[in-house]
Amino acid sequence: MKKVFALIEKESAKFNQLAFFEFLGDKSIDLIQRLCFAPCFALFVIGYGDSNKFVCLEEPTVNPIPHIVNKQTREEENHWIWVLKNLSGLNFNRFLNFTDSLKFNWSDQTVICRQIIYQLYRRSFQVNPSYKLVAIEWIESILNIFFLISAPVTQELKFLTNREYADFGNRHLLAENDDNVHSNETKEFIASMHLAEDIPKQACELVNKIFELFTALVYLQCVNA
Task: Give the tens place of pLDDT for each residue, 188-211.
Answer: 777 787 777 778 888 899 899 999
pLDDT value at 181 more than 60: no
Report how many domains make up the chain: 1
Domain that holds residue 131: 2-224
Q: Would you state the pLDDT for residue 13?
A: 94
pTM of the model: 0.84
Give residue-wise pLDDT tens across range 103-131.
Answer: 989 998 899 999 999 988 888 888 888 88
User: How crowded is residue 106: how many other Cβ atoms within 10 Å of its Cβ?
Assistant: 11
CA distance linking residue 1 with residue 14, whole number of Å:
20
Q: What is the CATH number of the domain that holds 164?
A: 1.20.910.10
Tell me the residue type at 108: D
The C-alpha atoms of residue 135 and residue 139 are separated, in whole angstroms, by 6
pLDDT band, residue 15 (cuts 50/70/90)? very high
State the pLDDT at residue 125.
84
